[in-house]
Amino acid sequence: MTTLPFYRMACNRQGGRLFQVAAWMLWCVITAAEVPQADEAGEDPMLPLPRWTEKELEAFRTSLPSSDSPGTLLPENGGSIADINHLLRTPVASGPRLDHLFHPPDGELSPRLKSEDMRLFLPESILGLPTPRPAGTVRVPTPLSALKEVSPEFLAACSRSLPKEYLIDPDLLVPEMQNHDLMRFLEFHAKDARIKLYVVVIASDRKLPDAAKLEKIASGSLLQTDACLLVYPLAEPWRARLFVSTSVHKQTSAGFLSETVQSCVHEALQTSDAHDQLHRYAIHLSTRLFWLQKALGADPATKADEGMPLAEVSTEIATAEVPNNRASIVIGSFATLLVMGIIGFTGRKFHHHLRLKRQNSVWILPEPDTIPRLGGAFTGGGGGMVSYA
């Protein structure tokens, strides 16, 4: 039918009779070519359209979904929906349901939408699903020989971080979601705590150089107030290094600090996920810092320590003290036993020597001249008597 406007337009333009006839003939030809699509009776036998056989029609009808199949959105009986609110409040009992059409495995909402796909836009903590871990990969601690020092650029980036930036992650090792969570937590900690907690995240195969100037981190804000700096190698919490302000370090026992480090490591190792480990470590450390703050009292930091470097609470202290104590106890016990054994052996030998000497010794008594008494030839009644009743 698209040709008719063209025909009328042609008539208006030309206006001639001949042209009108020619146009009429052309329109007829074109129309005749289009009509067979609508009129089945007048189709061209040279261009047959596909037709459904009876068998195909029956197969098609049988393949149609039944009343409880997908596609049948309303019940067959067509019950009237009197109250839409009632329909929304009550669960659908007789309506079409999708869940019995397939049997998805656990954790899959539908055969097409899998839990792995949900992770693309929902955090795993919300999904409550285990963290996907590539099969066959077991976390192996980085050997000490394989540790490399962080680059000067890394330290420079740490130094450029803002004073209120408590989570310093120049290499972007912590994913965005965990980064935001941890940052909010550290800000919350800094709001209430006197000892601010700064966390520097480094890669698992990195370490701090010995000559690193930590006081420059966070634009030097570590020296402005009581602070605690945690240099955390991701996925290796046992290598985390903890630094506290010198004023705090002086007032705190080494045992408490080392115990804090041990406790944080223990808390972090409760999970195998590297980011959860960091989160747990930071939370536990924050709690411990609150304890420490309470123990130290509410007095602000002494300004005399400004400019002093941070003091490290090394994990080696914590781990070395216990073996040393144990070793000293063992050595002390061994030495005591050894000394006692030597004394006992010497005493036994001395006693044996005395006994032998006494056995090989005789004592000769003097023979004084005595005058017999009471008529006794050998004794005059010398001695004594006692009643033991």
Partner 1 sequence: MQNTCSACGFSATLLHGYLGNQWVKLERITDAAHCLRLEDARKVEIILDDFERSFPQAFFAAYLGVLPKGLSVAELGFWLLNQGAFNTHSVSRRNDFGVVLVVDPAEQTASITLGYAIERCFDGGMVTRMLQTAGAHLKKGALGKAIGIVCNRCGDTLRKHARHMTWQPDVSTVEGVPSNMGLQPLRGGHKASSKPLAAPPSATKP
Query: Rule CB under 8 A: which residues touch partner 1?
Result: 358-368, 370-389
**Smallest gap from residue 349 Cβ to partner 1 (A):** 20
How many angstroms separate the first and last alpha carbons of the chain? 151
Which CA distances in Å does 282 have to 187, 216, 222, 228, 242? 12, 21, 17, 11, 11
What is the SS3 assignment for 105? coil
CB of 347 to partner 1, least distance (A): 20
Q: Which is nearer to partner 1, 146 or 365 (CB)?
A: 365
In the complex with partner 1, the residue whose CB is nearer, 64 or 389, is 389
Closer residue to partner 1 (CB): 9 or 356: 356
Residue 121 or 378 with smaller CB distance to partner 1: 378
Name which of 121 and 363 has its Cβ closer to partner 1: 363
- Shortest Å distance, C-beta 338 to partner 1: 34
Min separation Cβ 359 and partner 1, Å = 7
Which SS3 state, helix, strand or coil, does residue 252 take? coil
CA dihedral 11→12→13→16, nearest 10 degrees, is 50
- CB of 90 or CB of 360, closer to partner 1: 360
By the 8 A CB rule, do 23 and 6 touch?
Answer: no
Cα–Cα distance between 231 and 205 in angstroms, integer?
Answer: 13
**Whole-number Å distance between alpha carbons of 323 and 325:** 5
Strand partners of residue 325: none
CA distance 204 to 233: 5
Single-letter residue type at 360: N
Least distance to partner 1, CB of residue 383, Å = 4
Q: How far is the CB of 374 from partner 1 (least distance, A)?
A: 5
